Amino acid sequence: MKKILYSNITKVLAVLLFIAFITAGAMAVFRGLTEFFDEDEFVYYFEDSFSESQRLCYLLEAPMNNVYSAYSHFIYSNEYHRSFDPEATLNGKTVERYISQYLENLYLDKRINYFVEWNDVIFTNCDAADGEELRDGQYYNYISRDSVGNITRDVMPSSSFGYMDDVFEYDEKSTITISVNIKESYAKECKEAWARQEKIIKQTFVDGLFNIIGAMVCLVYLLCVCGRKSDGEKKIVWIDYVWTEVHLFVLIGAGAVVALTVYAIDSCLNNEFPYGLTSLVVCGASMLVSSVFLMSVLSIIRNIKNKRFFEASLVFIVLRFVFKWIFRIFKWIGNALKSFFSSIWVLCSKKMGLLLIFILFIFSFSLFLLGVLTPVFPIFIFTAILIFLIAAVFIAFRMNDLDEIKKGVFMVRNGNVSYKIPEPRSADTKMLASNINDIAKGLDESVSAKVKAEKMKTELITNVSHDLKTPITAIVNYAELLSNIDGLPEEAKDYVSVISKKSDRLKKLTQDLFDISKVQSGNENVTWEKIDISLLLEQSLGELDADIRSSGIPFCVNAPKDLYILADGRKISRVVGNLINNILKYSLKNTRAFITVFEKQEEVIIEFKNIASYPMEFNAEEIVGRFVRGDESRTAEGNGLGLAIAKSYTELCHGKFEVVIDGDMFKAIIKFRKYMDV
């Protein structure tokens, strides 16, 4: 099941389904909006039933609103506050006249019947004799106040007549009746439109919700499985190396595309954009935005899971670079100050330093006196110049000696041990130069002797190894011939077997000596090639499979795919083989060996770990020397050259070889720079 969930096919299917759900949802919403806006007028406003329709409330409240507007216009223009005079006029018109004008501007005669009575003045657009007749309709509103102040309300639950109380409060004398109902033909038309629009909205909501849920399920699945393989190994794709800020800009661009799509839909609903072209725009934009959104979001999530979020951020890279240089600058300033004060302290503790400080003091004091006396005796300015020139010449001579010593130390440091520092003029610097020349001479003699001895040793090993090859080969061949002779006594066969084993071991020792001598003498050639570490380990373990099975030591290998280095394949294969053989020879029985490969800071690191079968009473530097064996009792087979050859071949291929000893655990570590295709 886990393999299916992390399968690339399942992931691709989830991506396609996510895009399909988003596109289908967008198209469903677009179709629903188009159908809804194709209606002649909007009746449905998300009410639970048609009887609560805001459209009905608007129609039933329209005459009353006009009456209230006319009354408000009249009373506020007259600047009345808390009372109302029925006989008052505005611009020669009574309040009844204003009500009549406002009701005449009500263009709803085909939709509603209304009856308004104000102090026995009747305003109506139907044949009703009083307001009670309009209460026979299915949808109506009725409100009245008689001459004694009794108020009757019979209105739809969703209607609001609260602000008519203002009229009743200001005008306490007028009798008022407002009765309205919806014409049956129009009520039927509105009810059908309301039902139709409700169906469109609900169907659009259901389709959109279904597609959103489907898209969210796919998105959650992809967020859970991205960045990992079925075995938990990290998985990084090429797009994860794109800066996080680029992904954020892409997401902003996707938002802009969504905004343009909404504008296109709005233009289409206003008949300013063709329906067919808008459909293509919505479909294409949905697919583009969902694809881009998924690509960027999954890349960001993969980087977060693989702890690469900050590493992939351009802002973080820039800040890290800036802080790194700021730290270096402060460190340099600190070291400079430390060096300055240290130099002052050293200067004060030396003979020449005291002399220079004394001269500086005399010079400064002389300048002070001359500065005081010069205004009185101008001739002293020439004395000051003379003192300065004398001090400058003295310091120049001293600094010239110091420069010669610095040059000599530099030459010796860079390997020119035959260089001699010219004899300085100062006694202090003369002794220093003489000591440095003596050190250089001793180094020259020591290096020459060491190089000569090392060359003789290498030549001896090479020549002996080469001379031993022919007799050893003859011994091996004759031992093989003897073993094939029929009729040999059993005792003779045992002798032949011993001769064969020992000659094979001697042949291997001779070849190892020859190989390590070639490497250390600089005569070994390197063939550079791209090497897959995982494949190399599989081949090496396969070649030694029989020895591994017979040893009873299981190998636990963790080597990720697609990790490459640039090295000599034959030599690195020899290194791996030597380390595996080392584990087989010196591991404690019934224990496990571990080979782990991982990447760290653009380096490929290979670790070989095993539990030793003997006390490891040696340090890590000694064990990689020639003819050095960890088992001092030499009970196990080995010539002490395996680790030396492994280290030499690793460094020859520009790698690093390290041995770590932790209690009974022996760990060999190989490091190479990761090879990356350009």
**Gyration radius of the chain's alpha carbons:** 50
Q: Which residues of 39-56 are buried (b: 16+ CB within 10 A; e: fewer)?
A: eeeebbeebeebeebebb
Give which of 410, 402, 399, 411 is closest to 433, Cα–Cα.
402
| The predicted structure's pLDDT at residue 508 | 66
Q: Name every residue whose Cβ is closer than 8 Å to that of residue 135 and which is 6 or more positions away in sequence.
A: 142, 154, 179, 181
Query: How many Å separate Cα 435 from the centre of its chain?
Result: 57
Pair 244, 301: CB distance under 8 Å: no
| The predicted structure's pLDDT at residue 634 | 46
Query: How many Å separate Cα 574 from the centre of its chain?
Result: 38
Write down all domains in the chain, each with its CATH number in brackets: 2-38+192-305 (no CATH), 50-182 (no CATH), 427-524 (1.10.287.130), 526-673 (3.30.565.10)
* DSSP letters spanning 243-276: -HHHHHHHHHHHHHHHHHHHHHHHHHHTTSS-HH
Run of H or E including 72: helix 54-77
Give which of 532, 554, 533 is closest to 606, Cα–Cα.
533
| The predicted structure's pLDDT at residue 610 | 92
Q: How far apart are CA 185 and CA 443, in angstroms?
A: 119
Tokens of 72: 């408000």
3-state per-residue secondary structure call for 319-337: HHHHHHHHHHHHHHHHHHH
Q: How far apart are CA 378 and CA 312, in angstroms?
A: 72
Q: How far apart are CA 204 and CA 212, in angstroms?
A: 12
Q: Which residues of 394-429 are buried (b: 16+ CB within 10 A; e: fewer)?
A: eeeebeebeebbeebbebbeeeebebebeebebeeb
pTM for this one?
0.41
Sheet containing 665-673: give its strands across.
555-558, 593-600, 603-611, 665-673, 656-662
Q: How far apart are CA 283 and CA 291, in angstroms?
A: 12
Mean pLDDT by 10 residues, the chain (678 residues): 68 81 80 70 73 78 82 67 56 73 77 84 84 81 82 74 66 81 83 80 82 83 72 67 76 80 75 76 80 78 72 77 87 81 58 62 68 63 68 67 77 75 70 76 71 61 60 70 71 72 67 64 77 90 88 90 88 88 88 92 91 77 60 53 81 88 88 80
| The predicted structure's pLDDT at residue 510 | 66
CA neighbours closer than 13 Å in the CB half-sphere of residue 134: 28
